[in-house]
Structure 1
Amino acid sequence: MSISGAERLIPVPGVRNLRDAGGFLTEGGARVAESLLYRAGSLHELTPEGAQRLAQLGLRTVIDLRSAPELEVWPDHRLDGEVVFLHLPTFPPRERADADAADAEAEAEAAAEAAKERDAEAGEETLEDLYAFMSATAGPAIAATVSALAAPGALPALVHCAVGKDRTGVTVATLLSALGVADADIVADYHLSNTGLGLDLGPVYYVDEHGNERRSRPVHEGLITTFLASLRATHGNASQYLLAHGVKAGELEALHAAFL
């Protein structure tokens, strides 16, 4: 299939940026199975017709990567059947436990203010700041999501954040890399969010959970390649990154058996 083509997007009323995360060849010559893992934006605008179409995917698990305040303002619409909803936020709470962390946050906020740009899913950082923040802090959350996908009966599953491009992007990219998918295909899948959200036509403005207007900007290749380079610099590869943050070896083996 065409990895980067817009035909991969699945039209479901009330769900943005929905697509299958499978279908990719791995460096070992295997293929990531389709119809097991989907990625998207949130389900809070899901329509009755959309719910019927989503039911056709046979989902067993929905993993929500958004923050608690986002869930409070925009809760997912529930789905018929025995679908398990898990909340595994990518971002840690903004409160910091010590002065050093507070100083680091202040520096990041100052840099973001100087840049005069805002991101859809972080609110205060530029996209570059956001990805640096996720690189430094998101390991446990990504690992928790991967472990949840490895649980018996968890698949097919849907992983989503607010619009399905940044938090979902790094989570899916890490999993695909651990399964052996080449960076070029990971980047192509990641970049498809621009089409899925209409960001290929320019920034999209929206109101966040606090009532503030924010600007969602297109993603670019350097964001995800820098993220992957960071986890390799610290842990060698995506599999070791996941193991270091709590995924068990047996869970990785189960995911390889299920997906490849």
Structure 2
Amino acid sequence: MQQEQAPTRSLPLAGATNFRDLGGYTGQGGRPVKWRRIFRSDHLAALTPEDQALLAQLGVARAVDFRGKAESAAYAYALPGIAYHPLAIEPTVVQRALDLQRTGRQLTAQDAVGLMQDTYRGFVHDNAPRFAELFKLLLASDTPTVFHCTAGKDRTGFAAALILLTLGVPRDVVMHDYLLTNTLYQRPPGMGSHAPEEVLAVLWRVQEEFLDAALHKVDTEFGGLQPYLVDVLGVDAAAQTELAGRYLQAAV
């Protein structure tokens, strides 16, 4: 008997390069995350009619947009049959980079890594209400959902890490998923062309040090993932059981 092939993780869209499925990873109790329920992506404003047809075929009915107000206004979208949920997290790294440059300093790759780590630490506390809202949506219904920011790498990357960790996916596997952005995401031509290429190579990619900065803050300031989920995001034991029931395959 031929073994059934697993669905593809990355989906071939013309208008988004970083659209992918969180399914298939092994979570708590050895139960895999269900395929075709939760997707992560870069922004959806450039999707073609064919792309939109694929999303409809996948049953995607909710889009969660983590972009800041100016970002979402510049590249707005409305997709037929998909409910739009804006959970704005304003981008801070560009502003901080500009502030550094105004002091007369030439921004280095090392500066950029530090800025990105600070950004990720900010997700953990400053932006916790947005991630709490994402979990509320996932708990309200298991209708196929995509969440995204502009590049689908930082705000989206932290959100994906939280979801997978909550479902019991090991941290090294979560990191592997996070780093897939470097293989998939294609930076739009001309974006951020005023900075040196070595700096852009940091800002438009992901590094283990970025996600580690956020997870280290979760561990050291909140006592680990469990207290953080319960005390900060409002995802208590009952909610975690509900999430596992919705998004992990049933034990065989």
Among 144, 161, 164, which residue is 2:152 paired with? 164
Q: Distance in 1 between matches of 2:166 and 2:102?
A: 32
Q: Deviations over 1:109-133 (max 9, x none)?
A: 4499657159xxxx9x832232233
Shift of 1:193: 0.4
The one-letter amino acid paired with 1:155 is: T
Pair 1:240 & 2:231 matched: no
Q: 1:56 to 1:164 in 2, by over 3 A?
A: same
Shift of 1:194: 0.8
Shift of 1:48: 1.1
Among 198, 203, 220, which residue is 2:207 paired with? 220
The one-letter amino acid paired with 2:224 is: N
- Over aligned residue pairs, what C-alpha RMSD do you find? 3.1
The one-letter amino acid paired with 1:217 is: W
CA contact (8 A) 1:174 1:228 kept: no
- Secondary structure at 1:126 match in 2: helix
1:155 alignment counterpart: 143
The one-letter amino acid paired with 2:225 is: A
1:58 alignment counterpart: 59
Q: Distance in 2 between matches of 1:51 and 1:185?
A: 30
Identity %: 28
Q: Distance in 2 between matches of 1:52 and 1:164?
A: 21
1:88 alignment counterpart: 87
CA contact (8 A) 2:15 2:44 kept: yes
CA contact (8 A) 1:175 1:238 kept: no
Name structure 1 gaps, 5 residues minimum.
Answer: 1-6, 95-104
Q: Distance in 1 between matches of 2:115 and 2:102?
A: 6
Relative to the length of structure 2, the TM-score reads: 0.79
Pair 1:26 & 2:30 matched: no
CA contact (8 A) 2:66 2:88 kept: yes
Q: Deviations over 1:18-63 (max 9, x none)?
A: 1101211125322111111000011111111111112111012110
Pair 1:143 & 2:132 matched: yes
- Secondary structure at 2:14 match in 1: coil
- Secondary structure at 1:222 match in 2: helix
The one-letter amino acid paired with 1:127 is: M
The one-letter amino acid paired with 2:107 is: K
Q: 1:142 to 1:34 in 2, by over 3 A?
A: same
Pair 1:189 & 2:177 matched: yes
- Secondary structure at 1:56 match in 2: helix
Q: Distance in 1 between matches of 2:190 and 2:91?
A: 25
Shift of 1:141: 1.4
The one-letter amino acid paired with 2:121 is: A
How many residues were matched structurally? 229
1:79 alignment counterpart: 79
Q: Distance in 1 between matches of 2:154 and 2:18?
A: 12
Name structure 2 gaps, 5 residues minimum.
Answer: 1-7
Q: Deviations over 1:161-191 (max 9, x none)?
A: 0010000000110111111110111010000
CA contact (8 A) 1:63 1:87 kept: yes
- Secondary structure at 2:131 match in 1: helix
- Secondary structure at 2:36 match in 1: coil
Relative to the length of structure 1, the TM-score reads: 0.77
Q: Distance in 2 between matches of 1:108 and 1:129?
A: 15
Q: 1:161 to 1:48 in 2, by over 3 A?
A: same
Shift of 1:252: 2.8
